[in-house]
Amino acid sequence: MKVLKISFFIMIGALLLFTGLPHKYVAANTVFPQWIKTEHFRNGDTNYVRVGLQQGYASYIKIDTITVLEYSPPTYKIKGVIVTFDPNDRLTREVSETWRYVWSEYEDDRRMFHLNSGEWEEISLSRLCTANASSIVGGEIAWYIAYKMDFYGNPYHID
């Protein structure tokens, strides 16, 4: 009977751990996709991966802030912090981003959204422009860090 109770609590604990509870991913244990190169890290720091570069301003996702908010296949939510540095290497902006993903085995059916002014806005490679590039690159990196696989694939061809 005692073994049964212990097994029950271990099972409940495992379920709580791997369901909807937020989970932080730490940079030291991070596996990066092969499409992230050394030049994408801020001054060699693997905690900062470049998601955008425009007119000398560089934006990075902070890897140690990536948190899974919802794991409910095929729907997922992840958040992370995007920081921007000016051409003089001063921090000018720090903002929390939240992404929602709808996964499909078929790449054409996958959907990525980001929270914009309280509304979910779809961001996709087909409608990519410089204005939303950091959102899609950040969302792709957040997904890879969380699940160790590509969502759309290498987003840097738009950078």
End-to-end Cα distance, the chain:
60
Examine residue 5 and state whether it is found in any structural domain, yes or no: no
Examine residue 102 and state whether it is found in any structural domain, yes or no: yes
Task: For residue 29, give its domain range.
Answer: 21-158
DSSP class of residue 138 equals: H
- Provide the number of structural domains found in the chain: 1
- C-alpha angle with apex 117: 116 to 119, nearest 5 degrees? 65
Q: Backbone phi, then psi, for 150, in 5-degree steps?
A: -70, 150
Count of other CB atoms within 10 angstroms of residue 141: 26
Q: What is the pLDDT of residue 24?
A: 44
Position 48 pLDDT exceeds 80: yes
Q: What is the pLDDT of residue 54?
A: 87
pTM score, two decimals?
Answer: 0.77
Examine residue 15 and state whether it is found in any structural domain, yes or no: no
Tokens representing 84?
A: 């921007």
Examine residue 58 and state whether it is found in any structural domain, yes or no: yes
Higher-confidence residue: 47 or 28? 47
Q: What is the mean pLDDT of the chain?
A: 81
Residues in the chain: 159
